[in-house]
Amino acid sequence: MRNLMPDRSELLEFAVDRANIGIFALDREMHVLLWNRFMADHSGKESAEVIGRNLFDCFPDLPRRWLEKKVAGVFLLKNFAFTSWEQRPYLFRFHHGRPVTGGIDYMQQTCTFVPVKNASGEVSAVCVTLVDATDTAIAYRQLERAMATVRENARCDGLTGVFNRRHLEERLSEEFYRSRRYGGPLSLVMLDIDHFKRVNDVHGHLAGDEVLRIVAARVSEAVRASDIFGRYGGEEFGVILPGTDIAGARVVADKLRELVSGQPLAYKDVGLEITVSCGVAQVAPEHTTYEEVIRLADTALYRAKREGRNRVCA
Amino acid sequence: VSGQEFTAVHRDALQEVANVAMGEAGAKLAELLDTFVRLSVPRILISDAAEVPDTLGKLLEPHNAVTAVRQSFLSRIQGEAIVLFGEAGCAELADLMGYDGVLAPSERREVLLDIANVLVGACLGGVFRQFGLELGFTAPSLLAEDTPAQRLIRADTLDWSRALLVEVNFRLEQGAFSSHLIVLLPERSIDRMRESLDQIIAAL
């Protein structure tokens, strides 16, 4: 009976050729000695086309100086060498065949260079295995993007898109200590929409939401790049003004008040007459925490409300 | 127990083996980089694993921020090599390693991984050849960037009780670049290394 089982060397040859990773080998002069099916399929060059030829003649795009040094190191040191997609996304410009990649242009590759030693212990060739790491790279990029979104969401207000209370307080705390340590004035404006409850009651909550969005947008456009603006809660907003004293802060607050109050807000076909009141406070040497500044600005804000709204108090 | 059995005789034998290996490694690295390379005489320490973070802190400037690359090596004796880099001289060495121009952060990391791999391979390869062992390696990876030396390894994450530390200092002729190689061996591998050293001692 004929033995139909492949022998060991046939199996080895098959395994190397059909393994789902790239396997190739190079001699000291960078001539290709071995080129498996994976390499042929992805490069479009059959083993017959590349074996015996210089690798750089076949693939002029390869980073020559660096790769020659890498292979020389394997021969000289009789040592493994590695490349990872995390630092060097690819050696060969192979297509990855994935429809959704998020900006990944070529197959991401992780390579291991293994010295092939002869009987006397000298390195006679370098065997390279190339693993497709594109899926890992895509998953990693998606994770990074998700993390960026999470970080962004954690500091932004969902309705208006401006900074939320937590981020506002964090920044105020930072600026507070910076001002204490290095000097320089620091002021805070608290801005509150007048009769906001009435807007909700008369026009509905969607109108209220729209008013919040428009006020936030108008103020956002008006503040300087160095100012930090966010929604403190409800219909109350805060603007941190580093390097600004109380007089300057009053000017800013009055400008913001006019910007909102001076022009009706369009909601559907209705023009809503909206005004805001502002309380202004500056950090003083006797303040020990940033919360005291918030309390001070809030007190000024309530005075502005009591004195008839649509005004700035300090 | 094994720690005690690693006697002064074993330590001296390992020092000899390491000296020979570093001599070879230095010559090869100099040839590869085409510059003069200085490898220090290795310092050998056996330490309780719990003391490894402090020991690392003492070997280096404890508060200096270092970048560290780790790489596992595999054979009958297994362990982990850690290469610590200071800030200086990376660009110069990058050029010697075949990199062109100004380095992007990812290229800088790749250079450090490359250097770590070359150093570990040259130094450990030489030691283990004398034991008649062929080493395999995993890909090197970044352990930490700009971290104080004594915070590199947390004692409670080491899953062995004693460690053998071999510390080698690597410098370029110009002196700008310097790094440290530290080899950590778990207890079982210390036992096996002692056996290999016993054979070498017996053959003398």
- pLDDT (tens, 9 = 90+) of chain B, 204 residues, equals 444 577 888 888 999 998 888 888 888 888 888 888 888 888 888 877 778 777 777 776 655 677 889 999 999 888 888 888 876 667 777 777 788 777 788 888 888 888 889 889 888 888 898 898 888 899 999 888 877 776 777 666 666 677 777 888 888 776 667 778 888 888 888 888 889 999 988 887
Close Cβ partners of A285 (under 8 Å, ≥ 6 residues apart):
none
B1: three-class secondary structure by DSSP: coil
Residues in A touching B28 (Cβ below 8 Å): 76-77
- Side chain identity, residue B16: E
Cross-strand bridge partners of residue A265: A272
DSSP track, B142-163: EEEEEEEGGGSS-GGG--SSEE
A159: three-class secondary structure by DSSP: coil
Nearest residue, CB atoms, A82 vs list B29, B117, B136: B117
Degrees to nearest 5, angle at CA A210 with A208 and A212: 70
State how far the Cα of B113 lies from the Cα of A88, in Å rounded to an integer: 11
Q: How many residues make up chain B in this entry?
A: 204
Q: CA of B117, closest CA in chain A: separation in Å?
A: 7
Radius of gyration of chain B (CA): 17
Close Cβ partners of B5 (under 8 Å, ≥ 6 residues apart):
B191, B194
Q: How many contacts (CB atoms, under 8 Å) link A and B?
A: 63
State how far the Cα of A66 lies from the Cα of B70, in Å rounded to an integer: 22
The answer to whether the CB atoms of B136 and A80 lie below 8 A apart is yes
Q: CA of A80, closest CA in chain B: separation in Å?
A: 7
State how far the Cα of B65 lies from the Cα of B83, in Å rounded to an integer: 13
Nearest residue, CB atoms, A79 vs list B106, B121, B141: B121
Q: Note the pLDDT of residue A62.
A: 95
- Give this prediction's pTM: 0.68
Nearest residue, CB atoms, A66 vs list B99, B125, B140: B99
The answer to whether the CB atoms of A80 and B97 lie below 8 A apart is no
The answer to whether the CB atoms of B100 and A65 lie below 8 A apart is yes
Burial environment of residue A76 by CB neighbours within 10 A (0 to 12, 13 to 18, 19 or more): middle
Residues of B with CB under 8 A from a CB of A: 28-29, 31-32, 97-100, 106-107, 109-110, 113-114, 117-118, 121-122, 125, 136-137, 139-141
Catalytic residue, candidates A169, A175, A210, A235 = A235
Nearest to A300 by CA among A285, A290, A311: A311
State how far the Cα of A267 lies from the Cα of A273, in Å rounded to an integer: 11
The interface predicted TM-score (ipTM) is 0.73
β-strands A186-193, A123-132 pairing: unpaired
Q: CA of B32, closest CA in chain A: separation in Å?
A: 6
Chain B contact probe: residue of A28, A78, A79, A109 with most B CBs at under 10 A = A79
Cross-strand bridge partners of residue A17: none
Q: Identify whether A13 is a catalytic site residue.
A: no
Element (H, E) at A112: strand A109-117
- Side chain identity, residue A92: F
Token readout for B43 is: 């310092």
Close Cβ partners of A271 (under 8 Å, ≥ 6 residues apart):
A264, A265
Q: CA of B106, closest CA in chain A: separation in Å?
A: 5
Burial environment of residue B193 by CB neighbours within 10 A (0 to 12, 13 to 18, 19 or more): buried
DSSP code for A106: S
Nearest residue, CB atoms, B125 vs list A65, A67, A79: A79
**Total Cβ atoms within 10 A of residue A82:** 21
Per-residue pLDDT of chain A (314 residues; tens, 9 = 90+): 567 888 999 999 999 999 999 999 999 999 999 999 999 999 999 999 999 999 999 999 999 998 998 999 899 888 899 999 988 999 999 998 787 666 788 999 999 999 999 988 899 999 999 999 999 998 888 898 899 888 888 899 989 999 999 999 999 999 998 888 888 899 999 999 999 999 889 888 888 999 999 999 999 998 988 999 999 989 999 999 999 999 999 999 999 999 888 888 888 877 888 899 999 999 988 888 999 999 999 999 999 989 988 888 88
Q: Taking CA atoms, what residue in A is nearest to B124?
A: A79
State how far the Cα of A181 lies from the Cα of B109, in Å rounded to an integer: 36
A156: three-class secondary structure by DSSP: strand
| Chain B touched by A86 (CB under 8 Å) | yes
Chain A contact probe: residue of B24, B31, B32 with most A CBs at under 10 A = B32
Q: Note the pLDDT of residue B63.
A: 56
Q: Write the Ramachandran bin of B3: left for phi over 0, alpha for psi from -120 to 50, otherwise beta.
A: alpha
A24: three-class secondary structure by DSSP: strand
Give all strands of the β-sheet with A22-26 in edge-to-edge order.
A32-35, A22-26, A123-132, A109-117, A81-83
Q: Note the pLDDT of residue A81.
A: 92
Burial A192-207 (b: 16+ CB within 10 A, else e): bbbebeebbeebeeeb
Token readout for A82 is: 């590695």
Q: Note the pLDDT of residue B1.
A: 42
Chain A contact probe: residue of B69, B113, B145 with most A CBs at under 10 A = B113
Q: Taking CA atoms, what residue in A is nearest to B112?
A: A87
Residues A108/A127, Cβ–Cβ less than 8 Å: no
Q: Taking CA atoms, what residue in B is nearest to A64?
A: B98
Q: CA of B60, closest CA in chain A: separation in Å?
A: 27
Residues in B touching A112 (Cβ below 8 Å): 139
Element (H, E) at B133: none
State how far the Cα of A44 lies from the Cα of A84, in Å rounded to an integer: 23
Residues A240/A157, Cβ–Cβ less than 8 Å: no
